[in-house]
Structure 1
């Protein structure tokens, strides 16, 4: 009987990022968090008052994202542009995510720009420039943040 050879994880920044999107669409948050370096940092420069602006470490990212599928049923990433930079370990990503807000069954449609850094095939930094106006809409709470 032939031995099973596991599929290798992607290591190029773009491949890791695209794999991560697939994991989010599959609602596999533990595997997505597994793409992060132990000391990775996630930042939200446009976060409104009462929402986290900076998460330090894989465990903080895991805690923040743990319940994401309970709040947002992410269904598709219909628009995705990955821009390589002069630094081979940094990407700038433009994307649109669509789905539904679980509690209200309202449509979810968010545009993002992210600056993502990598080292040794893992995410070390993620600056997420998401639209804070969306969270001001009634019935939208998808991060578990206190507000």
Structure 2
């Protein structure tokens, strides 16, 4: 199946999260619609709560992933994917096995995503991540 093939929402989400440890914003956003919305309802000061459009999302992720978070080593991710009664909406629970810079290896449980997929593309990615806890792991 090619990257641009229409997938089921579950297949698209599995592929989307499978590439996250590489922190490649372009590969991640290849699954997003041009006018997608990325929301982070529980953010820390200085981090936006809403980004509109693939270009704005890419800029934010590239900056976030190349900043202090780059010192966090990702060993693996496990997702629990829940399909809903709305065929466009998938809910994802994430556990990430990480080692923060200078820290101990931990299982980071702090991410829930609500993702709306239409015509094989992510149109809404709502990231309920515990950003304050993650900032604490990296020493900020």
Q: Same fold (TM over 0.5)?
A: yes
Q: 1:24 touches 1:74 (CA, 8 Å); kept in 2?
A: no
Which residue number corresponds to residue 84 of structure 1? 83
Verify the 8 A CA contact 2:84 2:90 in the aligned structure 1: yes
1:19-52 CA deviation, whole Å, 9 max, x = no partner?
0111112333311111111000010111123221
Instruction: State the superposition RMSD in angstroms.
Output: 2.1
Instruction: Between 39-48 and 104-113, report the one with greater CA deviation.
Output: 104-113
Structure with greater proportional helix content: 2
CA distance in 1, matches of 2:124, 2:71: 24
Q: 2:61 aligns with which of 59, 62, 65?
A: 65
TM-score, normalized by length of structure 1?
0.78
Q: Secondary structure at the match of 1:66?
A: helix
1:47-126 superposed matches below 5 A: 47-67=43-63, 68=65, 70-78=70-78, 80-101=79-100, 104-106=101-103, 107=105, 109-126=108-125
In the alignment, the residues of structure 2 paired with residue 130 and residue 138 of structure 1 have an alpha-carbon distance, to the nearest angstrom, of 13
Query: CA 1:138–1:19 in 2, change beyond 3 Å: closer, same or farther?
Result: closer
Greater shift after overlay, 105-114 or 33-42?
105-114
Secondary structure of the corresponding residue to residue 75 of structure 1 = strand
Distance 2:116 2:89 in 1: 4
- Contact kept, 8 Å, 2:43 with 2:132, in 1: the verdict is no
For normalisation by structure 2, the TM-score amounts to: 0.81
Structure 1 runs of 4+ off > 3 angstroms?
Answer: 138-141
How many residues align? The count is 132
